[in-house]
Amino acid sequence: TESLGQSVTGRVREPRAAGGVAGGGVAGSGGGIACGETHDIVAVTIDSQFAPGPVCPDSGGSPNVVWQHTGRVVKSANNTFVMDTCPPNADCIQMFTTVTVKAEGLDLNIPVGTLVDVREELNKVWMVCSTQLSIRNVANWGGEQNPVWSNDNGWWLLATDRTATPPKESPLSVSVADIGCYLNTPGCGGAQAPGDYALLFDVGPGQPGVMVGMGQVEWIYNGIQDFMVRNQRSYQSGACDDYWNWSWWAMYAPLEAN
């Protein structure tokens, strides 16, 4: 993993909520993934000083909303950071945007001075929206070099809610994995049979994927950086119009030796 110009606290591997699944090219510790649901979510709030942040569209409007801006992190603590989106080569006053991500197990602290590109996409699903969030590292912005991390292909956070589909340009692919945990109900039109599922995180050919059960945490390396990944929820309830019980996050998390 590339070292950073400023300190980013490493994470020691923690015990998972249940055993992993190994075999078939999938990394894990063995022991199987137990049936059982979690109902954790990823909640994103973006408040901009001079323009409204992304909001789920009303019925009849555009089916999706995309909010994307680059900026310099000026404050950061406890899963919230403030970035100045006025480019260094532009004649403008500071324009602050506050980004907050609330999710079970998440410990996001992006160092002050980091240049990042934040993208959130909201897609209307019935009366609510699915969320796809990415926070990408930026090596150069308006002639200013990133003093924290020089890699243009690094990611601080990837996260979704109400969908398992990764954000645009994500280095991770995510698919639903059948673990044989079915409900005794016929279902009502969902893509999967009613039951509990795991999520398979993959970085591409030649690399082992990682299968993660609900409420579990695992690590995956994509050749550039370590990600800590958590499955927030992944189940099909069987109720009509209730197809959105999928959520996960993947955070940059350099590992420390135990």
**10-residue block means of pLDDT along the chain (258 residues)?**
41 39 36 86 94 81 87 97 96 95 97 98 89 98 96 96 96 96 82 93 86 97 94 93 93 74
Buried b (16+ CB within 10 A) or exposed e, 7-38: ebeebeeeebbbebbeeeebbbeeeebebeeb
CA angle, residues 241, 245, 250, in degrees to nearest 5: 150
What pLDDT score does 240 carry? 85
Determine the Cα–Cα distance for residues 13 and 63; give it in Å rounded to an integer.
40
For residues 217 and 200, the answer to whether their CB atoms sit within 8 Å is no
At 168, list the tokens. Answer: 């645009």
In sequence order, what are the residues at sequence separation of 6 or more whose Cβ sits closer than 8 angstroms to the Cβ of residue 152? 137, 138, 139, 140
Residue 86 amino acid letter:
C
Would strands 26-27 and 209-212 be described as parallel, antiparallel, or unpaired? parallel
What pLDDT score does 23 carry? 29
Determine the Cα–Cα distance for residues 39 and 236; give it in Å rounded to an integer.
12
For residues 246 and 164, the answer to whether their CB atoms sit within 8 Å is yes
Determine the Cα–Cα distance for residues 166 and 147; give it in Å rounded to an integer.
28
Determine the Cα–Cα distance for residues 198 and 32; give it in Å rounded to an integer.
11
Length of the chain in terms of residues written: 258
Strand partners, 176: 199
Residue that has been written with the tokens 């992006």 in this structure: 110
CA dihedral (148, 72, 219, 25) in degrees, to 10, reads: -100
At 220, list the tokens. Answer: 């995956």
Determine the Cα–Cα distance for residues 197 and 199; give it in Å rounded to an integer.
7
For residues 252 and 227, the answer to whether their CB atoms sit within 8 Å is yes
What Å distances lie between residue 257 and 14, 122, 247, CA to CA? Answer: 12, 38, 29
